[in-house]
């Protein structure tokens, strides 16, 4: 199964807060606080429930009224960053 089609969601182990148009996350791997800006907070909302990368891009593109390929690179950077740090986990199928 391609990584883009695996359903991911937020790890329950992550502490976070909303601050204006940012989401602050406490990175469980090193205890550092990370701020998600741009499309990050909207992505974070979507990740409250299991969702694939492709579906997340599609939903965000729809809400911003832009083509998916236009936002995919930015979303992928955030998605990969979160997945690498165990902030995202693969959802049970």
Partner 1 sequence: VNVPVDPIRPYGDAPHLVAVAAHGLAGTLTELPSSPLRDDEWRELLAGVRLQRLPGLLARAIDQGAMGASSRQVEQATDLHLHAMTTTLKLEAVLVRVAGLLGAAGLPFRVLKGAASSHLDFPDPSMRSFQDIDILVPPEHLDATVRLLGRHGFGRRFPAPRPGFDARFGKAVTLVGADQSEIDLHRTFALGPFGQRIQVADLWSRPGTPFFLAGTPATALDPDLRLLNAAYHCVLGDHPARLMPMRDIAQLALGGQVSATRVLALVAGWQGEAVLAQAVRATWDTLQIADMTTLSTWADRYRASPREERDLSVYLDPGATFAGKSYAAVRGIPRLPDRLAYLRALLLPQSSYLGSRHDGRIARLRQGTSEVFGKAPKK
CB of 87 to partner 1, least distance (A): 11
User: With binding defined as CB under 8 A, does residue 22 bind partner 1?
Assistant: yes
CB of 18 to partner 1, least distance (A): 5
Segment contacting partner 1 (CB under 8 A): 20-28, 44-52, 61-69, 79-87? 20-28
DSSP 3-state assignment of 83?
helix
Q: Are 27 and 34 in contact (CB under 8 A)?
A: yes
Segment contacting partner 1 (CB under 8 A): 27-35, 42-50, 60-68, 74-82? 27-35
CB of 44 to partner 1, least distance (A): 13
The residue among 69, 93, 67, 89 whose CA lies nearest residue 79 is 89
33, 66, 77, 90: which one binds partner 1 (CB under 8 A): 33
Q: Are 10 and 28 in contact (CB under 8 A)?
A: no
Q: Are 43 and 78 in contact (CB under 8 A)?
A: yes
């Amino acid at each position: 199964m391609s990584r883009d089609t695996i359903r991911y969601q937020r790890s329950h182990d992550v502490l976070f807060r909303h601050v204006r148009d940012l989401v602050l996350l406490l990175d469980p791997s090193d205890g550092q606080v990370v701020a998600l800006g741009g499309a990050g907070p909207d992505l974070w909302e979507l990740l409250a429930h299991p969702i694939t990368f492709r579906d997340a891009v599609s939903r965000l593109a729809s809400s911003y009224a832009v083509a998916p390929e236009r936002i995919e690179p930015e979303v992928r950077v955030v998605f990969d960053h979160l997945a690498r740090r165990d902030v995202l986990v693969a959802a049970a199928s």
